[in-house]
């Protein structure tokens, strides 16, 4: 491969779908947008534990409690894989957390909605993790190696998350009238925020064009949103629940579902920090960080002591 410049080598690797690795030369703008996306993805996983954590002690059975506990623990692990992937780009864990705690970094708007009933655990697993899978499977082929590898592991666990959520919705929708009503109420509240998870429309997405060119994204926001809607509408039929969109209609010509207008004003309002739970979520994260300081200090003290002991032994 004759290479005249680092840029050319970078471009050739992209063209050949060869993963870009941490030690490879990469444009600063590529590095910056990866830190932006991967860190916000990690923040989303960690903040995403809060809405579901709210129901662990109130699960209706020991089995449901164990399954929800396992799911929330998985999300913590997803966050750690992704923080580690972001660190390979030269940002420290402390900087990442600082960006979250000071509001500089975003996390997925979906986690700023309240979880009002047990059916919300079903709707989150079914819709939010369903949307996450739609978005994360293509990310297993993202051009940055550590991100792609983290996604392979994450996606294996996401399918369990989505299935347990769908099972909760199926149990409720086939249960008593009150249970079916609870499931429909949860679908009504989580449907639109879930399709907003894919980001703003392509014609209002400042990052998509470059992310597609750099093969960070393999599909655009609207393409993934459409795939998610097409699949999920069919699942709602199995549940016997109604998608809260009067304009939802199969379009034979397009081979997709047409859907109603998304309330982008609500989306940007939540992204800007004015959602129902933004303040509560950030407070919870800052409190967890402060309460965990002693654990970090103890681990660092142990590591320091061990390093000194090994140095003495080596001397």
Q: Is 42 exposed, middle or buried (0-12, 13-18, 19+ CB in 10 A)?
A: buried
Residue 166 as a binder of ligand 3HC (CB under 6 A): the answer is no
Piece of 15-23, 39-47, 178-186, 233-241 that binds ligand 3HC (CB under 6 A) = 39-47
Structure tokens at 183: 């499931």
Residue 208 as a binder of ligand 3HC (CB under 6 A): the answer is yes
Piece of 54-62, 199-207, 232-240, 244-252 that binds ligand 3HC (CB under 6 A) = 199-207
Coil, strand, or helix at residue 138? Answer: helix
Residue 146 as a binder of ligand 3HC (CB under 6 A): the answer is no
Q: Which of 211, 226, 232, 278 binds ligand 3HC (CB under 6 A)?
A: 211
Residue 120 as a binder of ligand 3HC (CB under 6 A): the answer is no
Q: Are 89 and 145 in contact (CB under 8 A)?
A: no
Residue 109 as a binder of ligand 3HC (CB under 6 A): the answer is yes
| Residue 49 zone, left/alpha/beta (φ > 0; ψ -120 to 50; rest) | alpha
Closest CB to ligand 3HC among residues 41, 189: 41
Residue with tokens 């599909």: 219
Closest CB to ligand 3HC among residues 37, 143: 37
Structure tokens at 120: 């919300």
Closest CB to ligand 3HC among residues 263, 300: 263
What are the backbone angles phi and psi of residue 20, rounded to the nearest 5°? -85, 125
Build a one-symbol-per-residue string for 232-271: x at contacts with ligand 3HC by CB under 6 A, - elsewhere: ---------------------------------------x
User: Measuring CA to CA, which residue among 159, 155, 160, 165 is closest to residue 125?
Assistant: 165
Piece of 36-44, 142-150, 171-179, 239-247 that binds ligand 3HC (CB under 6 A) = 36-44
Residues 234-244 as b or e (16 or more Cβ within 10 Å = b):
ebbeebebebe
Q: Which of 54, 179, 188, 207 binds ligand 3HC (CB under 6 A)?
A: 207
Could you tell me how far CA 74 lies from the centroid of its own chain?
12
What distance in Å separates the CA atoms of residue 211 and residue 199, rounded to the nearest whole number?
Answer: 13
Q: What angle do CA 203, 244, 193 make, to 5 degrees?
A: 50
Q: Interface residues with ligand 3HC (CB under 6 A)?
A: 36-37, 40-41, 44-45, 48, 75, 78, 106, 108-109, 128-129, 132, 135, 158, 196-200, 205-208, 211, 221, 271
């Amino acid at each position: 491969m004759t290479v005249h410049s680092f840029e050319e080598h970078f471009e050739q690797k992209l063209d050949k779908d060869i993963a870009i690795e941490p030690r490879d030369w990469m444009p600063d703008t590529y590095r910056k947008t990866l830190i932006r996306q991967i860190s916000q993805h990690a923040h989303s996983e960690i903040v995403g534990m809060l809405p579901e954590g709210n129901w662990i002690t109130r699960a209706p059975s020991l089995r449901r409690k164990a399954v929800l506990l396992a799911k929330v623990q998985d999300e913590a692990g997803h966050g750690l894989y992704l923080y580690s992937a972001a660190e390979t780009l030269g940002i420290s864990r402390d900087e990442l957390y600082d960006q979250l705690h000071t509001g500089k970094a975003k996390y997925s708007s979906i986690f700023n909605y309240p979880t009002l009933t047990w059916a919300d655990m079903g709707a989150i697993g079914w819709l939010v993790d369903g949307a996450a899978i739609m978005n994360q499977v293509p990310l297993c082929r993202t051009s940055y190696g550590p991100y792609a590898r983290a996604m392979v592991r994450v996606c294996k666990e996401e399918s369990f998350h989505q299935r347990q959520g769908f099972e909760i919705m199926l149990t409720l929708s086939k249960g008593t009238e009150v249970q079916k009503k609870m499931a429909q109420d949860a679908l009504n509240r989580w449907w639109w925020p879930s399709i907003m998870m894919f980001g703003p429309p392509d014609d209002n997405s400042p990052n998509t064009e470059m992310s597609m060119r750099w093969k960070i994204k393999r599909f655009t926001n609207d393409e993934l949103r459409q795939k998610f809607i097409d699949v999920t509408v069919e699942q709602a039929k199995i549940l016997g629940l109604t998608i809260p969109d009067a304009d939802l209609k199969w379009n034979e010509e397009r081979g997709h579902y047409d859907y109603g207008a998304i309330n982008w004003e609500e989306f940007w309002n939540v992204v800007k920090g004015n959602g129902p739970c933004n303040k509560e979520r950030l407070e919870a994260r800052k409190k967890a960080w402060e309460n965990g300081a002693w654990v970090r200090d103890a681990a660092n003290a142990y590591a320091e002591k061990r390093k000194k002991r090994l140095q003495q032994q080596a001397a």
